[in-house]
Amino acid sequence: MSARIGAAKARRKLIVDIKTVYVNTVDICAVDLLAVVMESSRNMTTSKSESLRNRFAKNLKSLRNTQGISQEYLAELAGFHRTYVSQIERGVGNISLDNIEKLAIALSVDPIDFFKL
């Protein structure tokens, strides 16, 4: 009976360790993304043309064009309405972190690539 209890405790510890590694990995990715955004923001002027939103828009359009994908097809890949990608590329709308992730997956790029200078 004690062997079963010992095995159960070992399984629980392994599960906790795996969850900890996953959470730490996600935290590290979020910290890396935040560091890039913060560093980029320090290098910006206050003009609208150099806002973080416009940099994201420019990089999204560039990455999409590099892959030869239309806005409509990218919207389909990411699960968005066809006009949403246009709004984001024009810097008209705000985009959530979840949607940044969807676009990165659809384009097979790292989300940090959207914020690079």
DSSP string, 55-66: HHHHHHHHHHHH
Which pairs from 14-19 meet CB under 8 Å and 24+ separation? Answer: none
CATH of the domain at 115: 1.10.260.40
Domain residue limits at 117: 46-117
Q: Residues 37, 51: one domain?
A: no
pLDDT of residue 47: 47
CA-to-CA distance for 1 and 82, rounded, in angstroms?
60
The structural domain count of the chain equals 2
pLDDT tens for 9-29 read: 666 666 666 655 555 555 566
**Is the distance from CB of 64 to CB of 33 less than 8 angstroms?**
no
pLDDT tens figures, 34-48 = 666 666 556 554 444
Are 99 and 63 within one domain?
A: yes
Do 77 and 20 belong together in one domain? no
Place of tokens 């940099």: 55
